[in-house]
Every structure is written in structure tokens, then in C-alpha cells.
Structure 1
Amino acid sequence: MTPSSTPAISIDERKFVTALARGLDLLRAFRPGETMLGNRDFVERTGLPKATVNRLAYTLTVLGYLRFDETLGKYALDAGVLSLGFALLSGTDTLELARPHMRTFAREVGAAVSLGCRDGLDMIYLETIRSETALTLGLASGSRLSMLTSSMGRAYLAVLPADARAALLAELKKAAGADGAALVADAQFEIDAFADARCCFSFRAWNDDVNAVAVPFRETRDGRWLVLSCSGPASSMGDEVFRESVAPRLKALACRLGDTA
């Protein structure tokens, strides 16, 4: 299993299907904005042998999750992945409940507001809504964020049980390589502050001109943790704007959507 897919939980090797995990690693290798990847890209991003990548890519193509372009010699995601995404979104009652509140929030604050959840070692956007005046990066549904540098990831880490959080931080540190220790230390500072703030901030940590705040809440129906975040340009929305104005309003919205920590 690659670092991107390693869950921070104990694994029963008798039940775990390694081949399936590796196939999903290929699908996760695609990043926002990328449409085509070749075998070399898969090998570099998953750490799997080329022969294994060839077999997995062929199988995923036959099943309709990848499409092979013979002219370019590369693969693109196919309709099978899209159908899974629609199944997830259509089955998320909270998302339907949240959308109108998120639109109002984005318009009144003049920023972008997003709803996300964990996927492997990343956070993934389920939805993002921007105000007409929001000057933020164009991330959309399906975009991934670093769990260590994003406010959304830090907020998710903050509500995990201590042992699960420690295990996940160890995995994130290992995956981050040489920068791992510093990134974990920065994230830990916000995680420690969560007890009093009930939210987590990211001031120019994920991007040099992006400030953000995030609040976790637990879905009423199935109990999983989701995270609301609001982001805006650091050049026009400074740290104090997020601490004194945006954060209280975002916490109030999270309380309307589920059980907050």
C-alpha cells in the first residue's frame, strides 16, 4: 500500500485486499486539473512496479474506470469514476441541507465556503461555493487539500481520538518527507488551540495568499466527521478578520448542520 492510501487504523491482513487498494491508488494519482496520466506517472506517484501498474491500468480500463488514449499513450478517468462520485454526493443529505446556507454565507462574507471530508491522507472537497467577489483559488468539488497545511485538515485531525490522531500524524509526517517534522509541528499548534477556539486556522500555510478557517461537525445520520471551511485572499482578509468575524459565523453554521465538537 502507498502512503496516500494507508489508513491510520489497525489492519486485519486476512481481510485486506492489497490488489484492490493498489487499483484505487491509481485512480487517486490524478490531481485537480489533470486529464491524462501515463504509466510513468502512475509508477512515480504510487511507488508500484511498472508491470503491476500495467495490469491494474488494463483492468480499470476494462471495467470502465479508466480510458486509454492510443494516440497519446496515456489514461484518463472514465465514466465509472464519475458514477461513483454522483452516488456519493446524491447520498449525502447534509450536502443538500448545507448548500443554501453555504450560498448565503459566501455572499454575506464575500469569500469561498467549502464542505469536505477525509480521503486517505488528504481532505477532499464535496462542495465549494464562492461569492461573486471572492478572489480565491478555483478549487471545486473533488479537489484535494493537504491535511497538514489546510484549515480543513487540521480541524479534522483535532476531533480524532488521541491515539488515532497520533497514528495519522505519523503517516502524514512520513509521507511529507524532509518537510514532515516542520509541517506536523505547525499543524499541531492549531490542533492544540482547537480546545479553546473550537476551530482551526490556516494563515498563508496552504497557499501564500490564502487565509482560512475550518469547523468540524458530525453528520446526524451516520456520525462521520465533515468539515466546513471558509477561505479568502490574505491580502484583503487578514488574520483578525478570520478570527473575529468569519470564525464565529462559521461555527454557528456548523451547529445548524450537525453536532459540533
Structure 2
Amino acid sequence: MSASGTTPTSSFSSSLAEGPIDERKFVVALARGLDLLRAFRPGETLLGNSDFVERTGLPKATVNRLAYTLTVLGYLRFDESLGKYALDAGVLSLGFALLSGTDTLELARPHMRAFAREVGAAVSLGCRDGLDVIYLETIRSETALTLGLASGSRLSMLTSSMGRAYLAVQPIDVRMALFADLEKTAGTEGPALVKAAKREIEVFGKEGCCYSFRDWHEDVNAVAVPFREPRDRRWLVLSCSGPASSMGPEVFRERVAPLLKSLARRLGETV
């Protein structure tokens, strides 16, 4: 926060964009409003002003104005009996617009279904959202016994194979800025988590994929491969996850990773 009480535009540069921000074009108020919407986490239905303040770092007065504006526009709904806000239909319509406008998702679905059946696990497609990765789609085999993450679920870049794979293909200056922001938001565990993520990025240089063995969840192993979308040229990430109790690291290295890399090459440009 600056001395004037406003957040400098540059503070958004590494956490929200894939490159430097042109401050002449950047609308800070809009970015702050979107931060309120991002404050909701999977499974949460109601948040109060104190939750928004804690998660965004914005002053209470600013949060009040932003929440009111988003309510008027139909992106939030205020529950007077509880004094809290819920996401409203405006957010849902944006999500549907994103999914319906993603040609790669339509192309990927049949391949993902075949992959899930062959491997007997869950396969997901995701992209970056701030300091997280967000799931666009998840398809599970009938025998998959792993934690269910649906479209819209978010995971940390530091502990998820998907997030690590995204970090691995970023220019070094962007990656280091992201690491700095991620370490700050992770608190006391930040340095250890960043160190673990950097080790997996070194693995990416040798194997073309990133792993997460019990890092995100104690009984989940996963591998992820990034690819660049042909039309929009943005980075998307494919991941496959399964129960660590029955799908150990060698299964992912020797069987799952080669198949996932092959699928990524069919969908776009890989490293």
C-alpha cells in the first residue's frame, strides 16, 4: 500500500499478468473488484467484508464500495440475514462464456476421455489464474479413486503439478517474480515450497513434465505437461492424478507421463 492509501499498479504485474503491465492502460479499480471475486474458494458460498479484507489486503471502506458495486451489477448477491455475499449469476455467465469459447477444450475432451479410460485415473485441463491454476475440465475413468476436482477448482502453483508445469515454461524474469509473490503468500512455509517447486522445474528440463508426489495431498500423485494453444498462444496445462496408494511415482514416470506428453503434442505446441 502506498502512502496515499492506494495500491501501486506495479504490485499487480507479477501475480495477474504474463508480462509487464502498461500502467497507462491499467485500471486499478477494476483489478480490485476482480480480486474480490477471486477471494471465493472452491466449496465456499458466503464471504463477509472481513473475509474480503483479509484475503485481498484492501481497506474495509474500499471493500464496501467494491462489494456494493458488484452486487448492483449482478456479480455478487448480499444475504441480509447473514451479512455476507455470495457469487451471483453474472459470474456464472462469464464462466460459461469462457468454457464455450475455448476451442481447445472441445478438441481435448474426447482425447481426455480416452486417456482416462486407458490410464484408469483422472485427467484435467487447466490454465493460470493469478497465483493459482484453475481447472477448466476434469474427466475421470469409472475406476478412478482420486479426490474430485471439478471445473473452477483452484490449486496453488507451488504444490500442484499443473502449477509447476506452468511455471516451468515462463520466461525467467516472469518466473522469478511469480516465485517472489508465491513465497510471500505462502507464509512461513513459503521458502520450502518454492524450493520444492524449483526442484520439479529442474526435472522438467530433463523430462518435459512436472510431478507432484503427495505434495498437494498426502494420497494424491500427479504429473502435468504444458502446451501452447494454437490459436490464442496462451499456455494451458494437462495433468493426470491418481491415488498414491495404488499409483506410485514409477507408474507416473514410466507409463502416465509418456502418454500425457503425447496427448499434449496432439493439442498444441510443446517444449
Common fold, TM-score beyond 0.5? yes
Name the aligned partner's letter for residue 47 of structure 1: G
1:99 aligns with 2:105: no
Q: 1:5 to 1:19 in 2, by over 3 A?
A: farther
Q: What is aligned with 1:214?
A: 224
What is the aligned counterpart of 1:111 among 121, 127, 132? 121
Name the aligned partner's letter for residue 160 of structure 1: Q
Contact 1:61 1:67 in 2 (8 A): yes
Q: SS where residue 259 of structure 1 aligns?
A: coil
* Alpha-carbon distance in 2 for matches of 1:8, 1:220: 17
* Alpha-carbon distance in 1 for matches of 2:53, 2:259: 44
Name the aligned partner's letter for residue 228 of structure 1: L
Deviation of 1:109 after TM superposition, in Å, equals 0.9
* Aligned-pair Cα RMSD in Å: 1.4
Deviation of 1:5 after TM superposition, in Å, equals 4.8
Contact 2:211 2:223 in 1 (8 A): yes
- Matching of residues 43-192 of structure 1 within 5 Å: 43-192=53-202
- The unaligned stretches of length 5 or more in structure 2 are 1-6
* Alpha-carbon distance in 2 for matches of 1:158, 1:92: 23
Q: 1:85 to 1:149 in 2, by over 3 A?
A: same
Q: What is aligned with 2:261?
A: 251
After TM superposition, the score normalised by the length of structure 1 is 0.96
Question: What is the percent sequence identity of the aligned residues?
Answer: 82
Deviation of 1:6 after TM superposition, in Å, equals 4.4
Q: What is aligned with 2:4?
A: none
Contact 1:7 1:168 in 2 (8 A): no
Kindly tell me the number of residue pairs found equivalent between the two proteins: 261
Q: SS where residue 81 of structure 2 aligns?
A: coil
Contact 2:119 2:256 in 1 (8 A): yes
What is the aligned counterpart of 2:33 among 9, 23, 26? 23
Bigger shift: residues 10-19 or 41-50: 10-19
Q: SS where residue 123 of structure 2 aligns?
A: strand
* Alpha-carbon distance in 1 for matches of 2:17, 2:155: 17
Deviation of 1:167 after TM superposition, in Å, equals 1.5
Q: SS where residue 135 of structure 2 aligns?
A: strand
Q: SS where residue 139 of structure 1 aligns?
A: coil
Deviation of 1:8 after TM superposition, in Å, equals 6.1
Name the aligned partner's letter for residue 125 of structure 1: Y
- Matching of residues 26-41 of structure 1 within 5 Å: 26-41=36-51
Name the aligned partner's letter for residue 91 of structure 2: V
* Alpha-carbon distance in 1 for matches of 2:18, 2:118: 38
* Alpha-carbon distance in 2 for matches of 1:195, 1:260: 12
Q: Can you list the C-alpha shifts for 1:152-174, whole angstroms capped at 9, x where unaligned? A: 00101111111211121111112
After TM superposition, the score normalised by the length of structure 2 is 0.93
- The unaligned stretches of length 5 or more in structure 1 are none
Deviation of 1:80 after TM superposition, in Å, equals 0.6
Contact 2:49 2:63 in 1 (8 A): yes
Contact 2:116 2:123 in 1 (8 A): yes
Q: What is aligned with 2:24?
A: 14
* Alpha-carbon distance in 1 for matches of 2:258, 2:15: 34
* Alpha-carbon distance in 2 for matches of 1:259, 1:107: 24
* Alpha-carbon distance in 1 for matches of 2:203, 2:68: 47
Contact 1:173 1:181 in 2 (8 A): yes
